[in-house]
Amino acid sequence: MAEDMSQRLGQLVVVDPRPGSAGVVAAAALLNAPADGYTIALLGTPPVATLPHLQRNLPYRVEQLQPVTNVIQGAFYLTVTADTPATNIRDLATITRRSPSPTLFVVVGIGSSPHLLMSVFARHSGANVEPVVYRSESLGAADMISGRVSMLMGTLVPVLDFAREGKLRILATTAPQRLGILPEVPTVAEAGFPEIEMVYWNGIFVSSQVPRHLVEQLNTALVTSMRSPAVIAAAAKVPELQLAPSTPEAFSAVVRRDRERLGGIIREYGITIE
């Protein structure tokens, strides 16, 4: 997208990775830059929709982030070890209830969307599960292979090859429909748990101080780029993700919906990261 946008805007677009704190570092970098439209940030759910409910001292307020367009969206997948007798998530809940100790599941960050969804799943199903925090889903998937943990609610890439090799088993997806490359994996709604259906997103934000006409120019360039053959071909290499170009208003509605929903879960379940 950066290469395509550079051609469309006649202005070099440089990708400047700012990893750290689940996107907080990137969001802070955006708001520390001049609000002239020359700095944009690709942010996901944590720094916008969950961490503001969990951390008191964030270096920004969500009101300072102005949505421009969604870029990609995807879903989470509940994966278990190959020796788990459960073949669906309802049976999985039954098996964990019968266990004398909680069944451990991988999570990258307390308060992350997968952690919140597993909390809802446990409440609705009676599953006896407990999160184990990992630095990455890949490390968690590796520990599943070695038998240290039993489950992972997360993205597809870290588990897909293991699943194809028969070392892990994907039981369900939080997407509203089945994924084309995994037609045998049901949705959580099909499995009887529509309350944990969720699509995550990564979208472009600018400072709330950026003028509206610049937001509209950026939106046009971004959306046009996402519809270009080169970008579509690049995105197709990661089949579990979907390009999701949108208007600023539509993306704002998505952000507001998820912030309210996830904030409600955090408050209802008393989840903290302290």
Instruction: List the strands of the sheet with 77-81, edge to edge.
Output: 129-133, 103-107, 151-154, 77-81, 168-173
What's the whole-number mean pLDDT along residues 41-61?
94
What's the whole-number mean pLDDT along residues 137-160?
95
Q: Residue 273 pLDDT more than 80? A: no
What's the whole-number mean pLDDT along residues 174-196?
96
Predicted pLDDT at 252: 98
pLDDT tens digit sequence for 102-112: 999 999 988 89
Predicted pLDDT at 88: 96
What's the whole-number mean pLDDT along residues 129-150?
95
What's the whole-number mean pLDDT along residues 104-121?
93
Residues of the chain above pLDDT 90, percent: 91
Q: Residue 274 pLDDT more than 60? A: no
What's the whole-number mean pLDDT along residues 153-165?
95
pLDDT classification of 191: cutoffs 50, 70, 90 = very high
Task: Name the more confident of 273 and 158.
Answer: 158
Question: How many degrees, rounded to 5, is the angle at CA 250 between CA 246 and CA 253?
Answer: 140
Q: Which of 150, 148, 190 is nearest to 168 (CA)?
A: 150
What's the whole-number mean pLDDT along residues 118-131?
95
pLDDT tens digit sequence for 65-104: 999 999 999 999 999 999 999 999 999 999 999 999 999 9
pLDDT tens digit sequence for 7-48: 888 889 999 999 888 899 999 999 999 999 999 999 999 999
Domains and CATH numbers, the chain: 2-73+199-269 (3.40.190.150), 77-196 (3.40.190.10)
pLDDT tens digit sequence for 229-254: 999 999 999 888 999 999 999 999 99
Predicted pLDDT at 92: 96
Question: How many degrees, rounded to 5, is the angle at CA 50 between CA 204 and CA 205?
Answer: 15
Task: Return mean pLDDT, the chain.
Answer: 95
| 165 close to 122: Cβ distance less than 8 angstroms | no
Query: Can you spell out the DSSP letters for the chain?
Result: -HHHHHHHHTS---------GGGHHHHHHHHHS-SSSS--EEEEHIIIIIHHHH-TT-SS-GGGEEEEEEEEEEE-EEEEETT---SSHHHHHHHHHHSSSPEEEEESSTTSHHHHHHHHHHHHH---EEEEE-S-HHHHHHHHHTTS--EEEE-SHHHHHHHHTTSEEEEEESSSS--TT-TTSPBTTTTT-GGG--EEEEEEEEETTS-HHHHHHHHHHHHHHHTSHHHHHHHTTSTT-EE----HHHHHHHHHHHHHHHHHHHHHHT----
Q: How many CB atoms lie within 10 A of CB 259?
A: 17
